[in-house]
Chains A and B, each alone.
Chain A
């Protein structure tokens, strides 16, 4: 069965620290990949997406993600986090037939 795995459930960082959140998926075909962010009390918003082309994708607010096809991974990165990045982050895969979401990673940034 298709699935999306986010290995980090809770991450706590100090401001200016670097961030990397892992995401792996299991699906053998072509996929579109996404990272969504959910700030406290709000709905999910798109952070970045990968459909094709350059596997290093840049999103909003300084986030980027790298698609490594051989590893079925789409890890999210940010060189220097801010307190305002405190949120829940969800990795998602669209196989063309269905969307699959990871269980989310809660990021807390300490000022």
Chain B
């Protein structure tokens, strides 16, 4: 059973471009979480999804950020028109209902 897979591991984007981060949850996991971690800071919750549903997006910036978890395929975190402040590590985690969360290796986004 492969772990949570995130790709790419490193992503460099110029200001104004779009960043697309992918997360494939562990087999059998229906809950996906996205977190952002800035240097020297803790994990900041962004969004919680189940298949085809956004359950809680209270941590997502209102503009430029969106997330989806389609019926087939990975969960996608999309950042449009990236700015320098979006540079961070983005972690995805998946869990079964009520169970422990397993984290991916993260995507380190650098906006230049």
Name the interface size band of chain A: 20 to 34
Name the residue among B48, B97, B100, B104 with the largest chain A CB count within 10 angstroms.
B100
Whether the Cβ atoms of A43 and B104 lie closer than 8 Å is yes
The tally of residues in B whose CB lies under 8 Å from a CB in A reads 22
B residues less than 8 Å from A22 (CB atoms): none
- The 7 A-B pairs of least Cβ separation, nearest first, read A104-B42, A103-B42, A44-B103, A96-B98, A43-B103, A43-B105, A101-B43
**What are 28 A-B contacts defined by CB distance under 8 Å?**
A32-B100, A34-B101, A36-B101, A36-B103, A43-B91, A43-B103, A43-B106, A44-B43, A44-B103, A45-B103, A46-B100, A46-B102, A90-B43, A94-B95, A94-B98, A94-B99, A94-B100, A94-B101, A96-B98, A98-B48, A98-B55, A99-B93, A99-B95, A99-B101, A100-B45, A102-B42, A103-B42, A103-B43
Beyond A92-B101, A99-B33, A101-B43, 13 additional pairs, beta carbon < 8 A: A36-B101, A36-B103, A43-B103, A43-B105, A44-B93, A46-B100, A94-B98, A94-B101, A98-B48, A99-B31, A99-B95, A103-B42, A103-B43
